[in-house]
Amino acid sequence: MTLEARTPDRAVRLWSKLRPKLTWIFRHMIAVPDREVFSLGTLLRHSRDLGGWEPQVVVVSGPPFSTLFVARRIARQRGIPWVADYRDLWTLSSYYPWGRIRRRVDRALESRVVQSAALVTTVSQPFADEMQCTFSVRSEVVLNGYDPSDLAPLALVSEERSAGPLRIVYAGEIYEGKRDPEPLFTALASMGLGPDQVLVEFRGDSVHLVEAAARRHGVAELVRCGPRLPYTESLVLQQGADVLLLLMWNNPGERGVYSGKLFEYLGVRRPILMLGFPGSVAADLIRDREAGVIANDPDDIAAAVRRWLVLKQATGVVPLLPETVSAGLTRQEQSERLRQLCETLIGDNGSAVVHEDERDAGS
């Protein structure tokens, strides 16, 4: 073999060894606080040329959290207040992905930027309390929500569920050891059901974890997996379900987490089976609105599935939840609350100019 033929192979092998190390360095030491940091220069240049736009307050949502620094710069340049809208927590998150040293760096960055904000908004009262306690900033709650206009064209799907097995649907990601369906599989294995009686469908990028767990529990024939669906198709899937599965982490660190998917579920008005921390705000919302069952013990899960199965077999359908389950939870209503909070920052006679994509802010 000639030297010319060997050289490309050697380069490929060298790259395969170096790539994981270079990726680690990029993610941990260069892309701080996130990859969008490399867009900051462009965003800041655009912020100096806003034409006739004269905002009285600036609102920016994260993640990504690089955007907080853009909002702070615009606010300083124009002498106006700004609002940091946290759809997820940053360094206080129980899902924070990096190590201890990186968390210290990010915590210092977060403290410095967020303390210049006139207001912090976030998705739950526990999160608001945590932000206020940690960073000594005024914090308010603006919930996630759902958009009724996304669901209106799908209304006819709701009565097309009479045939076939009890359908339990989950469209989202699996976090092994934190948000996974194994308690449900244990329950189904104990019930001795066949695919003509119950079918659990998963859609997402990590469904290979589901398939492996289903095989371990001997319920693979009851489980159907597929790739992530586009948003509208995901809503169609949820509308056609009998029961919607909500996977949360059964840990006190999940206390303030709603999950944006919960609001979609309430919007489509299907009964919810939640696996996760029973003391969380998500569990409280489901209980308060009588929207489903919160269970982690396989026996309790099996009992809930039996009740829904009886309804399905007796009438051909698991009834829709009442319209009251989603009252006050639309994105429009939550955006209105954000607008009112902004107006308090500029005076009762002012009007806040808030530019945001409602879908991104509510997802």
Identify the pLDDT of residue 262.
96
Other Cβ atoms closer than 10 A to 29: 11
Count the alpha carbons within 13 Å of 143 in the hemisphere toward its beta carbon: 20
Average pLDDT over the chain reads 85
At residue 295, does pLDDT exceed 80? yes
Identify the pLDDT of residue 334.
95
Other Cβ atoms closer than 10 A to 325: 23
Contact 189, 175 (CB under 8 A): no
Residue 107: partners with Cβ closer than 8 Å, 6 or more residues away: 91
At residue 221, does pLDDT exceed 90? yes
At residue 353, does pLDDT exceed 50? no
Lowest-confidence pick of 43-57, 71-85, 194-208, 218-232: 43-57
Contact 243, 209 (CB under 8 A): no
Identify the pLDDT of residue 174.
84
What's the mean pLDDT in 96-109?
A: 90
Per residue in 158-187, pLDDT (tens digit) is 445 556 899 999 988 888 788 889 999 999
Identify the pLDDT of residue 350.
43
CA-CA distance, 89 to 238, in Å (whole number)? 27
CA-CA distance, 325 to 151, in Å (whole number)? 15
CA-CA distance, 286 to 253, in Å (whole number)? 18
| Architecture of the domain delimited by 53-145+331-362 | 3-Layer(aba) Sandwich (3.40)
Identify the pLDDT of residue 78.
85
Identify the pLDDT of residue 205.
86
Lowest-confidence pick of 28-42, 112-126, 224-238, 280-294: 28-42
8 preceded by a cis bond (ω within 30 of 0): no
Per residue in 231-249, pLDDT (tens digit) is 889 999 999 999 999 999 9
**CA dihedral of residues 170, 151, 143, 181 (deg, nearest 10):** 0
Confidence of residue 349 (pLDDT cuts 50, 70, 90): very low
Residue 339: partners with Cβ closer than 8 Å, 6 or more residues away: 352, 354
Count the alpha carbons within 13 Å of 118 in the hemisphere toward its beta carbon: 19
Confidence of residue 361 (pLDDT cuts 50, 70, 90): very low
At residue 41, does pLDDT exceed 80? no
Q: Do domains 53-145+331-362 and 148-326 have the same CATH topology?
A: yes
Residue 245: partners with Cβ closer than 8 Å, 6 or more residues away: 168, 169, 170, 181, 184, 200, 272, 273, 275
What pTM was estimated for this model as a whole?
A: 0.82
What's the mean pLDDT in 272-298?
A: 97
> Per-domain residue ranges for the chain?
53-145+331-362, 148-326
Which CA distances in Å does 187 have to 37, 65, 117, 263, 344? Answer: 45, 40, 48, 26, 51
At residue 1, does pLDDT exceed 60? no
Lateral strand order in the sheet of 292-294: 223-226, 198-203, 166-171, 243-247, 272-275, 292-294
**What's the CATH code, domain 148-326?**
3.40.50.2000
Coil/strand/helix, residue 75:
helix
Contact 119, 83 (CB under 8 A): yes
At residue 351, does pLDDT exceed 60? no
At residue 324, does pLDDT exceed 70? yes
What's the mean pLDDT in 66-78?
A: 90
At residue 322, does pLDDT exceed 70? yes
Q: How far is CA 7 from the centre of its chain?
A: 46
At residue 358, does pLDDT exceed 70? no
Residue 204: partners with Cβ closer than 8 Å, 6 or more residues away: 170, 171, 172, 173, 174, 227, 228
Identify the pLDDT of residue 227.
92
CA-CA distance, 356 to 335, in Å (whole number)? 9
Lateral strand order in the sheet of 139-141: 58-62, 82-86, 119-122, 139-141
CA-CA distance, 64 to 363, in Å (whole number)? 13
- Tell me the angle at which helices 298-315 and 182-191 cross, rounded to the nearest 10 degrees: 60
97 preceded by a cis bond (ω within 30 of 0): no
Lowest-confidence pick of 53-57, 296-300, 326-330, 342-346: 53-57
Helices (H), the chain: 3-25, 40-47, 67-78, 100-114, 125-135, 148-151, 182-191, 207-217, 231-239, 260-268, 281-288, 298-315, 331-346, 358-362
